Structure 1
Amino acid sequence: MTRSPLVWFITGSSSGIGLSMTKTVLENGDIAIATLRKPSALDHLREKYPPNRLHILKLDIVDKEDIITAFEYAKKELGRIDIVFNNAGCGVIGEIEGTPEEVARKVFDVNFWGTMNISKEAIRFFREVNRPQGGRLWNVSSIAGILPFASLGYYSASKHALEGATEALASELDPKWNIKVTLLQFGSFKTRFMQQESSPEFPVHPAYSDPALMGNIIRGLKENGVYRDTDKATRMVFHELASEPELPLRVAIGPDANTWIKQKLKTVEADITKYERWSDNLD
């Protein structure tokens, strides 16, 4: 039995996971509202798909007016959104001591504030525009949202913040609104994330120059790391997650994500168990 096409609202559609998700949606007959800062980057898709299937919108997620305009467009032209794939993001490579504060703040402006402003507008849209009420908000997180990485400290912190706010948001929603919130914790996939345009790299802080330090090892993975097939990941998201009636709050995507997050949780549990006696008799 065929279903009606779903409407996907996708941020960060110019490259990486966002572009792959946009193509996957279109290849499988659904409708994509593809948002990005430079719409001309999707001219190659504009030539391939009709305007009733592919809607390309300029959207910088740090601009609240852009966000409002994009969702108003969706309301006027399509009348509903089924899934918000909240993917736009950026990074920075550098030790905490060696990263300029203004750059770190920009990472938070995009990965946290921008993503949460999209989240709030998505919730409002699902509740007040969609008929029947409901929809799916998928916030794209990372392994780094659970396990922070040396030389990716501020990026990791922004994803930690996103995880906390998203979990709180999900707990605040009235179940009768039928809004489902999920964090997608991606592992290492073939994207432009580690390139200078997406994650500017700052020189190694002099105090951290020892090549054996983890921050320098992470830098080395830019060229030699294992990066998995992004298109396989987005096809899995489309065919498995989009059809799953009930998803958990978090879904780890990629063998490295599952392995490392499990190990992190084991470490946390072991530390808490070892020292929980210190909390005795504190009532």
Structure 2
Amino acid sequence: MNPVNQTPYQLPADATWLITGCSSGIGRAIAEFIASKPNQRLVATARNPSSLGYLSDSNTNILKLALDVASPTSVENAFKAAAAHFGASFHIDVVVNNAGYSLAGDTEAATEEETHNELETNFFGTVRVTMAAVKVMRQHKEHRGGVIYNISSIAGVCAFPGHAFYHAGKFAVEGWSESVAQEMHPDWNINFCIVEPGAIKTNFEFSSMKHTKPHEAYAGEDMPARKMDAFVKEHLHAGVGVEPIAVARVLYHVADRGEKVPLHLPLTATAIQLITMKLQGRLEELETVKDLSAIDKGEPQFKLH
């Protein structure tokens, strides 16, 4: 692998943040936090800009825009609008690709439209915004470089029943981000960070989750997806999770601390635990299949019948 994020990053005093999915949850928390910083500039976006009423209309450092990441035209127009608003001084220093939703339910019941829309938003939307930002970041002379936070999830590393296409999108974000991060020239100073939150106290399950039509073959309470549903609901009712502001604070700190930006950033102790278990499990599995896997070592290490 080519090295990534090779040099310490220092957030400019007048940094411009572009955040998608600011209507609620993590996106809103980050937008509010950045808006509280006097010298930071904010481009807050949402599909419906009326949901951004919590941000000031009189502060010229704050720009509220309509942005549907599933639309290439919408992404292009948002970047043009930001450039027009900030004028000759326009630059993007931090991007937070947060827009997305989960398609939950039985995979066999998912329609073509549902699955394509899920990936269009969660994966291709991230791609569109990222590459538009990379172009601005690498071409700016005075503010060359920046940080691109791609919000993944523990769902981008660990898979659970009943959310196959959400996992597909987040796994895609992880692999794509790791690859494109290696394409950046060190002189560009463009840093990628894949953020992998665990349980965050948002209304994600209610406002940012769509459900497939139930499939009768998977309806039994003993089905894995139904057991997973019950487990999640139990923990939600118990108040498990951290406040979104905690995510906002750590992302700001990572950009502002003057150190190298981590490529992967799990958030919450649960995320670290689950990801560790997943990686340890993969290592153990490698040990059990290595004799089967080493097909480039000549004769097979197993008997053929």
Q: How far apart are 1:236 and its partner, in Å?
A: 2.1
Deviations along 1:43-80, whole A, 9 cap, x unmatched?
23235xx3312110111111111111222233333311
Q: How far apart are 1:203 and its partner, in Å?
A: 4.5
Give, as a single letter, the amino acid of the residue that structure 2 aligns with 1:210.
G
Residue 56 (structure 2) pairs with residue 52 (structure 1) = no
Residue 243 (structure 2) pairs with residue 229 (structure 1) = yes
Residue 26 (structure 2) pairs with residue 33 (structure 1) = no
Deviations along 1:80-129, whole A, 9 cap, x unmatched?
11100111001111021122221111100000111111111111110123
Partner of 2:212: 202
- What CA distance in whole angstroms lies between the structure 1 residues aligned with 2:141 and 2:73? 21
Partner of 1:109: 120
Q: How far apart are 1:130 and its partner, in Å?
A: 5.2
Q: CA RMSD in A?
A: 1.9
- What CA distance in whole angstroms lies between the structure 2 residues aligned with 1:212 and 1:5? 55
For residue 22 of structure 2, the aligned residue among 7, 13, 26 is 13
* Conserved? CA contact 1:136–1:179, under 8 Å: yes
- What CA distance in whole angstroms lies between the structure 1 residues aligned with 2:213 and 2:78? 38
Q: List gaps (5 residues or longer) in structure 1.
A: none
Residue 111 (structure 2) pairs with residue 100 (structure 1) = yes
TM-score of the pair, normalised by structure 2: 0.86
Q: How far apart are 1:218 and its partner, in Å?
A: 2.7
Residue 70 (structure 2) pairs with residue 67 (structure 1) = no
Partner of 1:247: 261
Matches within 5 A, 1:128-167: 128-129=139-140, 131-167=142-178
Structure 1 segments (4+ residues) deviating >6 Å: none
Match of 1:131, SS state, is: coil
Give, as a single letter, the amino acid of the residue that structure 1 aligns with 2:155.
A
Match of 2:175, SS state, is: helix
Deviations along 1:3-28, whole A, 9 cap, x unmatched?
62321000001011000100011123
Identity of aligned residues (%): 29
Partner of 2:181: 170
* Conserved? CA contact 2:44–2:65, under 8 Å: yes
Q: How far apart are 1:189 and its partner, in Å?
A: 0.5
* Conserved? CA contact 2:91–2:143, under 8 Å: no
Deviations along 1:106-158, whole A, 9 cap, x unmatched?
10000011111111111111012352421111110000001012111110111
Partner of 1:213: 223
Matches within 5 A, 1:267-282: 267-280=281-294, 282=296
Q: How far apart are 1:216 and its partner, in Å?
A: 1.2
Q: Which moved more, 1:241-250 or 1:100-109?
A: 241-250
* Conserved? CA contact 1:83–1:138, under 8 Å: yes
Q: How far apart are 1:275 and its partner, in Å?
A: 1.4
Give, as a single letter, the amino acid of the residue that structure 2 aligns with 1:173.
M
Give, as a single letter, the amino acid of the residue that structure 2 aligns with 1:76.
A
Q: List gaps (5 residues or longer) in structure 2.
A: 1-10, 298-305
- What CA distance in whole angstroms lies between the structure 1 residues aligned with 2:285 and 2:72? 42
Match of 1:81, SS state, is: coil
Q: How far apart are 1:241 and its partner, in Å?
A: 4.5
Number of aligned positions between the proteins: 279
* Conserved? CA contact 1:194–1:222, under 8 Å: no
Residue 275 (structure 2) pairs with residue 266 (structure 1) = no
